[in-house]
Structure 1
Amino acid sequence: HQYRRRFPSPPQPTVQEAVQNIVINTPEGSGAGVNEERSYILNVLVQNEPGVLNRVTGIMAARGYNIDTLVVSKTEVPALSRMTITIQANPFQMTQAKRQLEDLVPVWAVVDYSESKIVEREMLLCKLSIVGPELTLAARNSASATPSTGDGDGNSNGHSPAYSEHLLKSHDHIRAIKELTSLFQGRVVDVSAESVIVDLCAKSSRIDAFLKLIQPFGILEAARSGIMVMGRSVQLSMFQEEAEEKVVSSGPEVDVSTLPPG
């Protein structure tokens, strides 16, 4: 409408402002490192241009670092991309990898989330069998091809008891998979005659536990997105800074014994 009031769109932050906001709001780690090899999580903020991924992975491969997961995605700033890299290394190797990544021209910053309080998520898509762990189409065909006896006991409709039992078992498997998936706050997103696909978004350790529990059903396919992390907020209360300022400006305590009587 021509008289409709239009509000201006919020200002878009620049790449430098977005990187500074992420680095400043990242909580500091405890610094309690160990000398043995462990898992490290790095967030690499890079320029959104062709060839950056090859340069980053090329440095990691040339130094022999074992990359567990690598997730690359765009950010709210069109010219900025975010890489989340999980590597297995010792503290010395991790420090060297961080310095070498920071030396690259398209890299704005490298943030280490290994010792920080973070929110970690990973997505899983898994296709499970509902006909048993053997999952062979020949087994179903042989069950449905069992000849009917037709002895007048009600089984003369062309469906063998073996196929009926198979149908009931498949529905029992669907019910069990759905209940187990709901316990992990997941969903069943597709159902077919022989398989179901479940969707789960959780921490990596929780996804590992879920895969172990559904292993007996028969896993046909499994795809994991990789780890995505974000630092928790450093300031938990909007009154935190105000309280700290009041404590600082209160001044030294007065010794009552030095005051005059009365």
Structure 2
Amino acid sequence: MKHTLSVLVEDESGALSRIAGLFARRGFNIDSLAVGPAETPGQSRLTMVVEGDDHALQQMSKQLDKLVNVLQVLDLTRQPAVERELMLLKVSAPAHQRSSIFDLVQVFRAKVVDVADGALTLEVVGDPGKLVALESLLTPYGIIEIARTGKVALVRASGVNTELLKVSPSGSRIPA
């Protein structure tokens, strides 16, 4: 199972290296990693996605907590959270196919950020599922290049789990 961890650290050189080393020594691969300044000066927030069972991730969280620069570790996997990712995608776009690509761009609320004779570069922000869906729909046109940030996530202040609000095409609620 994939887990999303939010780690608050003191903003000091080597903190990221120590965290990545801890995961590597225990045989965990970090699938996604995003790091940036946190709300308090001198602190950074790391959001990482790692695969493992609940017990293994619980042990990793305890190990992370023991590192000197780590201030807080949260496993957001089962908590109501807002998750976003950014993707830049360059797709082949000959003149006769551009209108259908523009239609997809509108549906996914993506932006065209560069136009060339044979290609369009798109920017799309959303939950990781949205990015995968757009990539899948654009694959037949010919994807030239993709760059994705890691997932960033915060616990929802409202506590509302939007997964419980999703509705199936038949109108019934989809169980989480």
Alignment-mate amino acid for residue 109 of structure 2: Q
The equivalent of 2:74 in structure 1 is: 111
Counterpart Cα distance in 1 of 2:123 and 2:31 = 21
Q: Does 1:182 align with 2:106?
A: yes
Match of 2:83 in 1: 120
Equivalent pair of 1:69/1:227 in contact (CA under 8 Å): yes
State the distance in 2 between where 1:188 and 1:42 align.
Answer: 31
1:172 Cα deviation (Å)?
2.6
Q: Distance in 1 between matches of 2:59 and 2:155?
A: 23
Among 9, 12, 21, which residue is 1:46 paired with?
Answer: 9
Report deviation, 1:77. 1.9
CA RMSD of aligned residues (A): 1.2
* Structure with larger Rg: 1
| Offset at residue 235 of structure 1 (A) | 6.6
2:148 is aligned with 1:224? yes
Q: Which residue of 2 aligns with 1:142?
A: none
Please tell me whether the aligned partners of residues 47 and 153 of structure 2 are also in contact (alpha carbons under 8 angstroms): yes
Scaled by the length of structure 2, the TM-score of the pair is: 0.88
Distance 1:55 1:181 in 2: 40
> Quick check: 1:211 aligned with 2:135?
yes
Per-residue deviation at 1:176?
A: 1.2
Distance 2:7 2:159 in 1: 24
- Runs of 4+ with >2 A deviation: none
Residue among 233, 240, 247 paired with 2:157:
233
Deviations 1:40-64 (A, max 9, x none): 1110000001110100000000000
Deviations 1:183-207 (A, max 9, x none): 0111111101121100000110111
Q: 2:37 matched to 1:74?
A: yes
Pairing of 1:13-28 with structure 2 (within 5 A) = none
Aligned-partner residue type, residue 77 of structure 2: S
Q: Mind listing any 5+ residue stretches in structure 2 that lack a counterpart?
A: 161-176
CA distance in 2, matches of 1:118, 1:47: 23
Identity of aligned residues (%): 34
Query: Hey, what does 2:118 align to over in structure 1?
Result: 194
Give distance in 1, aligned partners of 2:38 and 2:98: 38
